[in-house]
């Protein structure tokens, strides 16, 4: 499946490259893409303390703090959040596109595929798992997929192209620094409207690549995720950030309390729509 996704992306880039008028701009943009990839591939994962603030469309806010462990090669994540009394509010874990979300108030684990969760009408999540993936690191950009929109001393703005039935469109705009950090990113729909805004601030030196001490690893101390369609905001403040070089010993296993119920998010089928699911069952 990943091979076919990669093949489709390569084909898409070839189509877009043939439609864009200026090859010179694409070549200039590619130098910035190389900086992003060089910075991105210096780290495999992170482990950190995290404070989160959620702001709803009506302005109401809630906060929690806890720990996050993330290994980007497998899109593997574990986020545990506690209230001010150090009681568990939720535990969110992922493995590639599969997720589990434990809500202590419901004493229920919700699990399924993150793409089914994106469109599920039976379950609502303040922050979308896929948006969280996008926020923790800049998604890959293939050579020829981007054009240079603006350039200034120390940074540049890139347009990342996608295609739809109506033709190519700018699906993403990002700012790149000379070092390869991406402090600002905006995702757009094919009609030009904004869908997701990501702000990364205060990039910290969190260590060096093993056996390559001159290659420093940088990670933002603050990430702001804004869902333009739903008018929600999620702010994450990181502390005690450490690079993670393997998944072993990272503490991925989660033990849910006895009596925890499990509810499977309905799977989406292109022809049949969402499959019916039974009532939550006790965790095995």
Q: 118 pLDDT band (50/70/90 cuts)?
A: low
Helix (H, G, I), strand (E, B) or coil at 142: coil
Residue 159 lies in a domain: yes
Residue 262, in any domain of the structure: yes
Closest CA to 41 of 245, 214, 225: 245
Residue 39 has pLDDT above 70, yes or no: yes
Whether residues 111 and 223 share a domain: the answer is: no
Decide if pLDDT at 249 tops 70: no
CB 73 within 8 A of CB 86: no
Asked whether residue 25 is domain-assigned, the answer is: yes
Average pLDDT of the chain, as a whole number: 81
Residue 128 within a domain:
yes
- Do 6 and 125 share a domain, yes or no? no
Share of the chain above pLDDT 70, in %: 79
Evaluate if residue 102 carries a pLDDT over 70.
yes
Total domain count for the chain?
Answer: 2
Rounded mean pLDDT of 89-117?
A: 85
**Kind of pairing between the strands at 261-264 and 232-244:** unpaired
Residue 209 lies in a domain: yes
Q: Does residue 228 sit in the same domain as residue 149?
A: yes
Claim to verify: residue 259 and residue 166 sit in the same structural domain = no
Neighbouring C-alpha atoms within 13 Å toward the C-beta of 77? 24
Q: Any idea what the Cα angle at residue 238 is, between residues 236 and 239, rounded to 5°? A: 155
Task: Mark whether 103 and 210 lie in a shared domain.
Answer: no
Are the beta carbons of 200 and 179 closer than 8 angstroms? Answer: no
Distance set, CA 284 to CA 187, 230, 255 (Å): 40, 35, 11
Whether residues 22 and 159 fall in one domain: yes
> Do residue 145 and residue 37 come from a single domain?
yes
Q: CA–CA distance from 170 to each of 3, 28, 163, 245 (Å)? A: 24, 17, 8, 34
What local confidence, expressed as pLDDT, does residue 160 receive?
A: 95
pLDDT at res. 247: 74
Cβ atoms of 149 and 170 within 8 Å: the answer is no
Q: Are 125 and 101 in contact (CB under 8 A)?
A: yes
Confidence of residue 197 (pLDDT cuts 50, 70, 90): very high
Within a domain: 6: yes
> Domain for residue 60, yes or no?
no
Q: What is the pLDDT of residue 21?
A: 35
In this structure, are residues 18 and 144 in contact, taking their beta carbons and an 8 Å threshold?
no
Domain that holds residue 24: 2-42+141-244
225 and 90, same structural domain? no
Whether the per-residue pLDDT at 181 is higher than 60: the answer is yes
Q: How confident is the model at residue 15 (pLDDT cuts 50, 70, 90)?
A: very low
Tell me if 29 is assigned to some domain: yes
Same domain? 240 vs 260: no
- Asked if 237 and 259 sit in the same domain, the reply is no
Tell me how long the chain is: 284
Determine the pLDDT at residue 220: 96
C-alpha–C-alpha distance, residues 58 and 253, integer Å: 36
Mean pLDDT over 227-242 rounds to 93
Residues 111 and 232 both lie in one domain: no
Sign of torsion over alpha carbons 249, 93, 116, 263: positive
The pLDDT-based confidence of 223 (bands split at 50, 70, 90) is very high
For 57-66, how does the pLDDT look when each residue is reduced to its tens digit (9 = 90+)? 899 999 999 9
Q: Would the pLDDT of 5 be above 60? A: no
36 and 147 in a single domain? The answer is: yes
């Amino acid at each position: 499946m990943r091979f076919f996704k990669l093949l489709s992306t390569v084909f898409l880039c070839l189509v877009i490259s043939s439609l864009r008028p200026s090859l010179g701009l694409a070549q200039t943009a590619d130098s910035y893409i190389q900086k992003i990839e060089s910075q991105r591939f210096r780290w495999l994962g992170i482990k950190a303390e995290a404070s989160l603030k959620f702001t709803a469309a009506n302005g109401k806010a809630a906060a929690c703090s806890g720990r996050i462990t993330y290994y980007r090669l497998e899109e593997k994540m574990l986020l545990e959040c506690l209230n001010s009394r150090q009681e568990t509010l939720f535990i969110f874990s992922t493995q590639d596109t599969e997720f589990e979300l434990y809500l202590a108030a419901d004493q229920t684990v919700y699990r399924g595929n993150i793409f089914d969760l994106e469109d599920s009408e039976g379950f609502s999540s303040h922050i979308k798992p896929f948006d969280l993936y996008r926020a923790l690191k800049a998604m890959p950009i293939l050579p020829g997929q981007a054009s240079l929109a603006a350039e200034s001393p120390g940074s540049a703005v890139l347009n990342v192209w996608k295609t739809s039935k109506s033709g190519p469109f700018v699906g993403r705009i990002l700012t790149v620094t000379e070092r390869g950090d991406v402090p600002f990113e905006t995702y757009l729909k094919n009609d030009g409207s904004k869908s997701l805004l990501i702000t990364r601030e205060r990039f910290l030196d969190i260590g060096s690549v093993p056996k390559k001490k001159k290659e420093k690893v940088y990670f933002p101390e603050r990430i702001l995720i804004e869902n333009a369609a739903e008018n929600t905001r999620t702010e994450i403040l990181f502390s005690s950030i450490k690079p993670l070089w393997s998944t072993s010993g990272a503490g991925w296993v989660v033990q849910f309390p006895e009596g925890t119920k499990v509810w499977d998010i309905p799977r989406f089928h292109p022809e049949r729509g969402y499959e019916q699911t039974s009532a939550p069952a006790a965790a095995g």
